[in-house]
Structure 1
Amino acid sequence: MEDVDTKEQEFSPFGQHPVGYVFFSSSDRIFVLITAEDRNPAEGVHGESAAFRSLYTYSGKYRLENNHFITKIDIAGDQNWVGSEQQRSYCVNGDILIIESAPATRAGKTTRGILEWERER
């Protein structure tokens, strides 16, 4: 997460090297799965809670508008996202896709998420 005003990195909720995939289908569906770099097997109630917090996933139909894609979420790890539209800007540079979330305010600071994806060959 980056502070929008200072451009400083505030925190990385999934560590410096998360693992994941983003898939854009020919039928205009996106699927995103990200896991934390230090994810452990779930053991007991506390372990299950930690496992859930170290996983980020959603899917839905997307549409392109200028340099943005907007996803109508129809399934997600966080049920609060279902039915929402999530807008992201993107930039492609060779085999690298950079996706930025819209700015959001948390604890009095405005931040945005920036994800860099490399095409799998």
Structure 2
Amino acid sequence: MKAADLMGTWRLRSWRNVASDGIGVDPLGEHPVGFIFYNHDGYMSVEIMASHRSPYHDPDVFGGTPAERSDAISSYLSYSGPFEVLEDQDAVVHHIEVCSYPNWIGNAQVRYAKLDGNVLVLSTKPMVFQGVERRAELVWDRIGHD
């Protein structure tokens, strides 16, 4: 896979985290919503959220009660930064500069990539998700192509 193969906008079809025993969970529910963008300038961005998030009662974008803010951040993941493709490993590395999860800022996240036409599958090494070691698998559909 080459960087040119990833260029464009992709819509999230599914996100499943699978443990070594094969048991999987949907971390943001059955129908998460999201996009991943790979740009010709060598930067990427991803935004993923649960499909049914509750709005704040306060109209201030920085408002909300502590419980509302906690619910909002626990149902949303985003990050952005430069990316590189490791052609010999079928992997893409996301070098994270901004992230909703502060622990990833300044880190490189490796995603193993499989491309089949206009379907992209990105997966991770096992990592801790919701207290259990699991491997994430995200399926994306390319937007704008038949």
Counterpart position of 1:91: 114
Alignment-derived partner of residue 74 in structure 2: 53
Q: Which runs of 5+ in 1 are unaligned?
A: none
Unmatched 5+ residue regions in structure 2?
1-16, 58-64
Question: Scaled by the length of structure 2, what TM-score is found?
Answer: 0.75
Q: Over aligned residue pairs, what C-alpha RMSD do you find?
A: 1.4
Q: Does 1:64 align with 2:80?
A: no
- Partner SS state of residue 48, structure 1: helix
- Say whether residues 1:120 and 2:143 are aligned partners: yes
Q: Which has the higher contact order (CA 8 A, sep 6+)?
A: 2
Amino acid of the structure 2 residue aligned with 1:21: F
- Deviation at residue 103 of structure 1 after TM alignment: 1.0
1:80 deviates by: 1.5
CA distance in 2, matches of 1:110, 1:41: 31
TM, length-normalised to structure 1: 0.90
Query: Which structure would you say has the larger Rg?
Result: 2
Given residue 89 of structure 1, which amino acid in structure 2 is its aligned partner?
Y
Which moves more between the two structures, 88-97 or 35-44? Answer: 35-44
Indicate the residue corresponding to 2:11 in structure 1.
none
How far is 1:6 from its partner?
2.5
- Give distance in 2, aligned partners of 1:15 and 1:93: 25
Q: Which amino acid aligns with 1:76?
A: C
* Identity among equivalent pairs (%): 26
